């Protein structure tokens, strides 16, 4: 175990853990804001209780997303000092802008939302949640602009022994960043939609608060149809952008070893990394890969064997994660459409099997998102900044292996405990339902 491996392991662990909580924050903030807006518009108390119920779940989830985010900001300097020094001129600004534009907005107005029920007007209260949702998206935008720059560096020059900005707007508005932002945010919306539908389905199965949860399910389903379709379309565009800018990542995603003009797409592949080929390739669709990646049936897809040795990412994990994400994403579109259909026809309650499936569906969008990050980050290897800086050249020289082992062990233990508590609390309060939420308040439990 070398220092680079340990530092990567720690970053992967803390980032993937952080991203268990962020997507629900992205999606549920919008959904709670929609619920509260419906309450303000209609005056229907059902929506108020719905807002408070899902709002409480939102807060339990938000707490961990917030605190685990600080780790990531600190970690660039702690574990990746050479990286931070080399790219700080470019990578630092979006992080500072994120804090200034987004985190203050999120945290301040979340405070107003939690504690301000009797202190601000109804409209201002609902607006606070919209501002939280807006802040969350702004935060995602800037951190993904930073990440997109690592994937496809633009608007810079290497000078004074480091990368320096020459064109901030080029980095902030490059298609890679915009697509990544849209893909990530809508993926968060999918998580939010499935969460609201799943929790509602749980209560509908038990005939609990049928009116409230049918309404909630409807909001979730409509939002889910929109989100699953958009995330899919943007995902396709994003993959085309990857093909253009990161050919090694594309080749690993599709497990293409040898360059081919008019490359087919195989529905079933077993990569054999050791022998630099696929052990099994079945059900090929002629020219499909060239079509999807380059929108041209005769385009050449460059294979992994045609890149310099040591410049290609691990194939199996990138390939399998990508396939799993796309498979799940396709499934989500179908499930969301079915959900919308059943709630429109008002026969959802009779479809017990579907309601049960929706409860069990809650974790899957999370899993798809984690796969997505594995594709994005493992697929970029061996580069930390694609084509510019190798990951192995980016670590902190001052940090020793025992130090990383200590912090890694600390994070594993701490995050495991907090993750278990948080998920336990989410399930507990989700099961208790809206009535219980106000009972605890009477007891002064919260």
Shortest CB 128 distance to other proteins, Å:
10
Give yes or no for a contact between 404 and 6, defined as CB atoms under 8 angstroms apart.
Answer: yes
Nearer to other proteins, 168 or 294 (CB): 168
Shortest CB 399 distance to other proteins, Å:
5
- Angle CA 387–391–396, to nearest 5: 135
Give yes or no for a contact between 36 and 129, defined as CB atoms under 8 angstroms apart.
Answer: yes
Residue 300 burial class via C-beta count within 10 angstroms: exposed 0-12, middle 13-18, buried 19 and up: middle
Of the candidate residues 44, 73, 236, 432, the single one contacting other proteins (CB under 8 A)? 73
Mask: binding to other proteins, 148-187, rule CB under 8 A, as x and -?
-----------xx-x-xxx-x-------------------
Give yes or no for a contact between 81 and 404, defined as CB atoms under 8 angstroms apart.
Answer: no
Of the candidate residues 4, 12, 16, 92, the single one contacting other proteins (CB under 8 A)? 92
Spatial CB neighbours of 327, under 8 Å, sequence gap ≥ 6: none
Residues paired with 271 in a beta bridge: 278
Nearer to other proteins, 110 or 301 (CB): 110
Residues 9-28 close enough to bind other proteins by CB under 8 A? none
Nearer to other proteins, 67 or 210 (CB): 67
Work out whether 101 is an interface residue with other proteins (CB under 8 A): yes
Mask: binding to other proteins, 104-133, rule CB under 8 A, as x and -?
xx-xxxxxx-xxxxxxx-------------
Indicate left, alpha or beta for 395 from its phi (over 0: left) and psi (-120 to 50: alpha).
beta
Shortest CB 34 distance to other proteins, Å:
20
Residue with tokens 């798809």: 368
Binding-residue total with other proteins (CB under 8 A): 82
Of the candidate residues 6, 11, 98, 180, the single one contacting other proteins (CB under 8 A)? 98
Shortest CB 152 distance to other proteins, Å:
19
Nearer to other proteins, 325 or 384 (CB): 384
Query: For 371-385, b where at least 16 C-beta lie within 10 A, e where not — what string?
Result: bbbbbbbbbbbebbb
Shortest CB 17 distance to other proteins, Å:
11
Of the candidate residues 13, 16, 95, 154, the single one contacting other proteins (CB under 8 A)? 95
Give the DSSP letter string of 371-434. HHHHHHHHTTTTEEETTTEEGGG-S-SS--HHHHHHHHHHHHHHHHHHHHHHHHHHHHHHHHHH
Of the candidate residues 53, 76, 134, 202, the single one contacting other proteins (CB under 8 A)? 76
Give yes or no for a contact between 399 and 40, defined as CB atoms under 8 angstroms apart.
Answer: no
The residue range among 36-44, 68-76, 230-238, 372-380 that interacts with other proteins, by the rule CB under 8 A, is 68-76
Long-range pairs for 278-286: beta carbons < 8 A, 24 or more residues apart: 286/262
| Radius of gyration in angstroms for the set of CA atoms belonging to the chain, rounded to a whole number | 23
Mask: binding to other proteins, 221-260, rule CB under 8 A, as x and -?
----------------------------------------
Alpha-carbon distance of 174 to 76, in angstroms, equals 23
Of the candidate residues 46, 51, 79, 184, the single one contacting other proteins (CB under 8 A)? 79
Nearer to other proteins, 47 or 91 (CB): 91
Alpha-carbon distance of 12 to 253, in angstroms, equals 19
Nearer to other proteins, 166 or 330 (CB): 166
Residues 378-437 close enough to bind other proteins by CB under 8 A? 396-399, 403, 406-407, 410, 414, 418, 421-422, 425, 428-429
Of the candidate residues 81, 205, 229, 412, the single one contacting other proteins (CB under 8 A)? 81
Give yes or no for a contact between 195 and 360, defined as CB atoms under 8 angstroms apart.
Answer: no
Shortest CB 66 distance to other proteins, Å:
6
């Amino acid at each position: 175990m070398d220092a680079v491996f340990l530092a990567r392991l720690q970053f992967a662990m803390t980032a993937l853990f952080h991203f268990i909580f962020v997507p629900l924050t992205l999606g549920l903030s919008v959904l709670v804001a929609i619920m509260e807006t419906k309450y303000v518009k209609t005056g229907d108390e059902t929506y108020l209780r719905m807002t408070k119920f899902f709002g409480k779940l939102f807060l339990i989830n938000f707490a961990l997303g917030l605190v685990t985010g600080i780790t990531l900001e600190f970690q660039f300097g702690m574990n990746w000092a050479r990286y931070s020094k080399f790219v700080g001129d470019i990578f630092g600004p979006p992080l500072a802008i994120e804090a200034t534009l987004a985190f203050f907005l999120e945290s301040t107005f979340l405070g107003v939302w939690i504690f301000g029920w009797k202190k601000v007007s109804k409209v201002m209260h609902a607006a606070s949640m919209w501002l939280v949702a807006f802040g969350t998206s702004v935060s995602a935008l800037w951190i993904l602009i930073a990440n997109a720059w690592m994937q496809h560096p633009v608007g810079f020059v290497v000078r004074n022994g480091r990368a320096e900005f020459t064109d901030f707007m080029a980095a902030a508005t490059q298609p890679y960043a915009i697509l990544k932002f849209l893909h990530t945010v809508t993926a968060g919306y999918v998580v939010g939609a499935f969460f609201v539908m799943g929790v509602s389905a749980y209560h509908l199965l038990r005939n609990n608060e049928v009116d409230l949860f049918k309404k909630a399910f409807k909001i979730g389903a409509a939002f889910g149809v929109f989100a699953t379709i958009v995330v899919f379309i943007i995902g396709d565009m994003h993959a085309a952008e990857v093909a253009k800018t990161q050919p090694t990542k594309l080749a690993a995603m599709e497990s293409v070893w040898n360059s081919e003009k008019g490359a087919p797409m195989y529905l079933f592949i077993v990569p054999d990394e050791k022998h630099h080929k696929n052990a099994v390739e079945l059900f090929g669709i002629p020219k499909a890969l060239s079509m999807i990646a380059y929108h041209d049936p005769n385009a050449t897809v460059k294979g992994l064997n045609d890149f310099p040795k040591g410049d290609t990412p691990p194939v199996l994990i990138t390939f399998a994660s990508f396939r799993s994400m796309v498979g799940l994403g396709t499934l989500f579109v179908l499930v969301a459409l079915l959900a919308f259909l059943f709630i429109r026809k008002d026969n959802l309650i009779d479809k017990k099997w579907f309601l049960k499936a929706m409860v069990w569906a809650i974790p899957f969008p999370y899993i798809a998102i984690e796969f997505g990050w594995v594709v994005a980050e493992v697929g970029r290897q061996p580069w930390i900044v694609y084509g510019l800086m190798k990951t192995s050249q980016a670590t902190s020289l001052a940090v020793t292996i025992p130090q990383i082992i200590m912090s890694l062990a600390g994070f594993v233990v701490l995050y495991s405990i907090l993750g278990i508590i948080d998920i336990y609390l989410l399930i507990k309060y989700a099961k208790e339902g809206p009535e219980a939420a106000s009972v605890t308040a009477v007891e002064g439990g919260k």
